[in-house]
Structure 1
Amino acid sequence: MAELNSTPEKQGKNPRAKKTNLRVDLTAMVDLAFLLITFFILTTTLSKPKAMELNMPVGKSSEPVPASRTMTICLGSNNQAMYYLGQAEKPVLEAKITNYSNRGLRKAIVATRSYVKQTTGKSIIVVIKPAQTSVYENLVNTLDEMKITDVQQFAIADIAPKDISLLKDKQAY
């Protein structure tokens, strides 16, 4: 327990004004503090990592994916992304540059998905191609957009030389 010790000083000139030196023993308070810290450290849980669910294909598909359903998103520099529908050599929808905002990439994915649904009657397939000049944050943002826009089929692939030349033409590489 805490104890309060006071030692009287020698009586000097004024006997009415006694000054006492106070000493408070805080050993028990320190013990209690360490017990509380230990208790909270041992009983708290650390934040659990959040992971995105990943579905891998079961086997090899004998049917090739039509270009009319494939949207390619190339991640460039300066928070820019280029997207097109089809193949880079002969795109169904021409390559355009956008950003990662709600009115940028998300709007492009939704518009392209509705175009594919109207023309083919099937769902869209997205291929994400990060360039050497892109940053990891943009890849995460693009994967978040896949989740937000409910795109079920998407893949991350290596960027092709034709895609790099398209990015350079649009000043996004």
Structure 2
Amino acid sequence: MAQLQEKKNPGKGSGKRARSRGFHLDMTPMVDLASLLLTFFILTTTFARLQTMEINMPTAQGPDTPIPGKNALNIVLDGEDKVYYYFGFPGDAPEVKQTDLSTTGIRQVLLGEQVKGNPNLVVLVKATAGSRFKNLVDALDELKITDTRKYALVELREEDRALLATR
């Protein structure tokens, strides 16, 4: 622990002089305590957990549920971060509009009256071969932010490609 070391100062004369005392502090127990506390706090702390989104996908044997055209919003993710969207199905010759994945883009569409005013609306998310995985994750994030409950990841069909080509 701590030790006091006394040093005698030989002096001339008969008077008593004050003795100087050396002080030595052993830091070994303090280092042990610090390492134990550090180990304890590292092992008992909870680190930031990854945030995941659970997606329940239908089975391949499940029946296809037809969706009326008035209840379908198609979001097509394309290369260069472009997003096309239209209401209805390609056979109905809908108006295709272009936007992006920003807060003033697809989020405003998902928060719009046509989407929020229809409780039966299903958002169909489709991706072209030129889109990136990041675009799909961003689109799913926007669906989560806007509290969209009904959505599905769907393959891009030939009718969709033809509709986008005529745009």
Structures share fold, TM-score greater than 0.5 = yes
- Structure 1 pair 105–79 and aligned structure 2 pair: CA distance change class (3 A): same
1:129-144 to structure 2, matched below 5 A, reads 129-144=126-141
More displaced stretch, 69-78 vs 21-30: 21-30
Measure the CA separation in 1 of the matches of 2:135 and 2:106: 11
1:118-133 to structure 2, matched below 5 A, reads 123-133=120-130
Structure 2 stretches of 5 or more lacking a match?
A: 8-21
Check the 8 A contact 2:76/2:128 in 1, yes or no: yes
- Structure 1 pair 63–128 and aligned structure 2 pair: CA distance change class (3 A): closer
Q: Does 1:74 align with 2:76?
A: yes
Q: Offset of 1:149 from its aligned partner? A: 2.6
Q: Offset of 1:56 from its aligned partner? A: 5.0
1:29-48 to structure 2, matched below 5 A, reads 29-48=30-49
Measure the CA separation in 1 of the matches of 2:159 and 2:90: 7
* Amino acid across the alignment from 2:102: S
Aligned match of 1:65: 67
1:106-125 to structure 2, matched below 5 A, reads 106-111=107-112, 112-113=114-115, 117=118, 123-125=120-122
Task: Give the TM-score, by structure 2 length.
Answer: 0.69
1:12-51 to structure 2, matched below 5 A, reads 25-51=26-52
Determine which of 90, 108, 126 is the counterpart of 1:88: 90
Task: Give the TM-score, by structure 1 length.
Answer: 0.67
- Structure 1 pair 167–22 and aligned structure 2 pair: CA distance change class (3 A): farther
Check the 8 A contact 2:74/2:85 in 1, yes or no: yes
Determine which of 148, 152, 156 is the counterpart of 2:149: 152
More displaced stretch, 45-54 vs 75-84: 45-54
Measure the CA separation in 1 of the matches of 2:105 and 2:157: 23
* Amino acid across the alignment from 1:76: D
Check the 8 A contact 1:71/1:125 in 2, yes or no: yes
Aligned-residue sequence identity (percent) comes to: 35
* Amino acid across the alignment from 2:76: C
- Structure 1 pair 123–4 and aligned structure 2 pair: CA distance change class (3 A): same
Measure the CA separation in 1 of the matches of 2:64 and 2:132: 34
Q: Offset of 1:146 from its aligned partner? A: 1.8
More displaced stretch, 159-168 vs 24-33: 159-168
Structure 1 stretches of 5 or more lacking a match?
A: 9-20
Measure the CA separation in 2 of the matches of 1:90 and 1:33: 72
CA RMSD of aligned residues (A): 3.7
